[in-house]
Amino acid sequence: MSAAYRERDDAMISRREFIQAGAAAAAIFGASGFGDWARLAAQQRLSEDDLLGVEPFGNVTLVHLTDIHGQLMPVHFREPSVNIGVGENAGLPPHVTGAEFLKLFDIEPGSPWAHALSSEDFVALAKAYGKMGGADRIAAVLKRIRAERPEATLFLDGGDTWQGSYTSLMTKGADMVEVMNAMTPDAMTGHWEFTYGDEHVKELVEALAYPFLAANIFDNEWDEPVFEAVKTIERGGAKIAVIGQAFPYTPIANPRWMFPNWSFGIREEEIARHVEEARSGGADAVILLSHNGFDVDRKLASRVNGIDVILTGHTHDALPAPVMVGSTALIASGSNGKFVSRIDLDTGEGKVRDIRHRLIPIFSDVITPDPDMTALVKKVREPYAAELARELGRTDSLLYRRGNLNGTWDDLICDALIEVREADIALSPGFRWGTSLMPGQAITVEDLHNACAMTYPEAYRSTMSGKLIKDILEDVADNLFNVDPYYQQGGDMVRVGGLGYTIDIGAEIGSRINDMTLLKSGEAIDPARDYIVAGWASINENVEGPPIWEVVETYLAAKGTVSVKPNRSVVIQS
């Protein structure tokens, strides 16, 4: 953990202090008032200057925001408790979670930083420290940095910006374009943006007040770039070359029929060529604005020389310190608007001499909102306000998605698929986006869409053999756990309902998934037998079925209040 964080931790309320203070408050005010008092106590010990105050360094400041997934309002988002690295990346950040993560980065349990960066004591600490993110808080942070460094600041958006909420789906990303135009990034790249279809993406790009960079997307017919590849920007008396890298496996992870004329890929040789051209053109710093995912970028940094900073996205990792690969700094800035990274560079004479980094947690109860952005967010949400707030049911359980193997949001979705679609087995895709919902809260239309708002939401019902089900699980597992990061082409593991199995992470494809069991009968899955399977988000064209949010709404209407038990049906084989 950086010295700056260590110094600030001394000023934070410790877990023991917090519990002691909380016990006293409960005795005075009664248990019913404790939640509000706890948050007030936390806020009194945590100031905006604690989060944002930094001694200026160097001559260039990069500000990185990525994977916001359409979230304009403050949210809860639980970081994963399971994040498994394989091969050379086993046990390395970001594949460290929970108490081990806190120990690795010298973070005090129970502190604001522990809440922001780990899943430890999530519910209790969320009650204490409140929600995180919000476009108006991000705008306030950005304005402060720009005011401190008016000629030096470079704001870069790592993509997955236009998708993931009810309003972004209803406006086809236009709400996010309007909001981000007001924040005026200097460049962005993308991934889920492409699921609005190539023609609409072009329209939205035309509406941007800044360049959309993607060096790795080419037109299939002419083999020509579809978007700008590089933008060279002068800041602080230095020339900064920004190379854009969109998610390379978009046609595999998402429906190819939505952008049939574009080809993607890592295109390592293209990146190397752009780096060399930038250097020969006098760039003082070369930045890769990437949506590759952390482990892909770690491998890329080891193979392509001359990149000073990789602003990495896609895998939603949040790290309080850079990971150095040779002389390249990998910066991971989290997701859902929870964090903004500030990277100060001392650069000139064709090189970066030194770097300072701070991951800024956006505690929404601490950072004063920017009033102009508050008004703009209200404006874009106003036409949908009543529907966003409509209650569908309640939850007694923490609903979260993030984690390699399962999450309670998808367990709920699988339960709904099995019951409403009358299936034996349910499959829910391993998306990393999706906010968390606290126990005891109402589930609103907005909450549900934060977990499933997308342009191919049809809930299919089909017959699959036991062998096909195993093949699907094996294929997804190889996308996640292949030892070569360049072959990790998907998200997290597909979630299952009505089905149990063991997984051997280190085995070869075809041998990872074993002991498949139909939970309702306890019988082993028969490879030759057919089962009724319900799922959603198929990448195939012309899928038939109701949108997944209708399926879950029907389920919630019947249940009223849901309680999602811990999923113990998927076991990691040691």
pLDDT tens-digit map of 209-252: 999 999 999 999 999 999 999 999 999 999 999 999 999 999 99
Burial class (CB in 10 A: 0-12, 13-18, 19+), 131: buried
pLDDT at 71 over 50: yes
Q: What is the mean pLDDT of the chain?
A: 92
Longest dimension (CA), the chain: 73
Q: Does some domain include residue 315?
A: yes
The answer to whether the CB of 70 falls within 8 A of the CB of 380 is no
**What are the φ and ψ backbone dihedral angles of 103, each rounded to 5 degrees?**
-65, -45
Whether residue 454 is found in the same domain as residue 322: no
| Average confidence (pLDDT) over 552-563 | 98
Per-residue model confidence (pLDDT) at position 570: 96
Mark whether 439 and 526 lie in a shared domain: yes
Instruction: Identify whether 242 is part of a domain.
Output: yes
The strand pairing partners of 228, in sequence order, are 213
Please tell me the predicted confidence (pLDDT) of residue 44.
Answer: 55
What per-residue confidence (pLDDT) applies to 45?
Answer: 74
What is the per-residue pLDDT across 344-373, written as a single tens digit (0 to 9) for each?
999 989 999 999 999 999 999 999 999 999
Residue 265's contacts (CB-CB under 8 Å, 6 or more residues apart) are 216, 248
Q: What is the pLDDT of residues 116-156, one digit of tens each?
A: 999 999 999 999 999 999 999 999 999 999 999 999 999 99
The residue to which tokens 């991951």 are assigned: 359
With 0-12 CB in 10 A as exposed, 13-18 as middle and 19+ as buried, what is 48? Answer: middle
Residue 225 lies in a domain: yes
User: Cα angle vertex 159, ends 371, 264, to 5°?
Assistant: 165
Task: Report the alpha-carbon distance of residue 253 to residue 500 in Å, rounded.
Answer: 24
Tokens of 73: 């309002």
Percentage above 70 pLDDT, the chain: 92
Strand, helix or coil at 242? strand
Amino acid at 540: N
Interval 297-355: pLDDT, tens: 999 999 999 999 999 999 999 999 999 999 999 999 999 999 999 999 999 899 999 99
Token pair of 230, please? 């590089």
Q: Which two tokens stand for residue 305?
A: 């020389």
- Chain Cα centroid distance, residue 526: 37
Q: Is residue 419 part of a domain?
A: yes
Residues 521 and 394 in one domain: yes
d(CA 315, CA 542): 29
Q: Are residues 316 and 440 in the same domain?
A: no
Using the structure block, give the residue that is written with the tokens 């498949």: 516
The stretches of 187-346 forming alpha helices (DSSP H) are 198-207, 250-253, 268-280, 294-303
The model's pLDDT over 403-439, given as tens digits with 9 standing for 90+, comes to 999 999 999 999 999 999 999 999 999 999 999 999 9
**Mean pLDDT within 450-468:** 98
E strand or H helix at 426, and its extent? Answer: strand 425-428
Residue 118 within a domain: no
Pull the structure tokens for residue 269: 């040789």
Tell me, yes or no, whether 164 and 252 share the same domain.
yes
Question: Nearest Cα to 122, choosing from 410, 337, 399?
Answer: 399
Does residue 104 fall inside a structural domain? no
User: How many of the other CB atoms lie within 10 Å of CB of 103?
Assistant: 11
d(CA 304, CA 306): 7
Question: Are residues 545 and 415 part of one domain?
Answer: yes
The domain boundary, picked from 384, 399, 416, lies at 384
Q: Is residue 272 part of a domain?
A: yes
Identify whether the C-beta of residue 92 lies closer than 8 Å to the C-beta of residue 400. Answer: no
Same domain, 329 and 397: no
* Cα 435 to Cα 452: distance, rounded to the nearest angstrom: 10
- pLDDT tens track for 4-45: 322 233 333 333 333 333 333 333 223 333 344 445 555 557
Find out whether 401 and 79 touch, Cβ atoms under 8 Å: no
Is residue 190 scored above 80 in pLDDT?
yes
Q: Same structural domain for residues 462 and 544?
A: yes
Query: What's at 188, amino acid-wise?
Result: M
Query: Locate tokens 């309003």: which residue?
Result: 167
- In this structure, what DSSP letter does residue 8 have? H
Burial of 441 (0-12, 13-18, 19+ CB in 10 A): middle
| Residue ending a domain, choose from 384, 415, 446 | 384
Rounded CA-CA distance 329/174 in Å is 33
Q: Is residue 88 part of a domain?
A: no
What local confidence, expressed as pLDDT, does residue 565 receive? 87
Domain count, the chain: 2
Together in a domain, 202 and 327: yes
pLDDT in the model for residue 317: 97
d(CA 384, CA 549): 16
The whole-number pLDDT of residue 506 equals 93
Last residue within a domain, chosen from 346, 361, 384 = 384
Q: What is the CATH number of the domain that holds 395?
A: 3.90.780.10
Least Cα distance to 202 among 221, 179, 180, 219 occurs for: 219
Sign of CA dihedral 565, 98, 336, 437: positive
Q: Which range of residues forms the domain containing residue 461?
A: 390-572
Any idea what the CATH number is for the domain that residue 192 is in? Answer: 3.60.21.10
Q: Are strands 285-290 and 238-245 parallel, antiparallel or unpaired?
A: parallel
Backbone conformation region of residue 15, classed left if phi is above 0, alpha if psi is from -120 to 50, else beta: alpha
pLDDT recorded at residue 574: 67
Specify whether the CB–CB gap between 154 and 124 falls below 8 A.
no
Cα–Cα nearest to 2, from 121, 107, 143, 99: 107
In this predicted structure, which of 468-472, 490-494, 548-552 has the lowest mean pLDDT?
490-494
Whole-angstrom CA distances from 464 to 55, 301, 472, 520 are 60, 42, 10, 17
For residues 398 and 325, membership in a common domain is answered with no
94: preceding bond cis by omega (within 30 degrees): yes
Q: Give residue 43's pLDDT.
A: 57
The pLDDT of residue 7: 29
Residues 186 and 275 in one domain: yes
Instruction: Say if residue 404 is in the same domain as residue 278.
Output: no
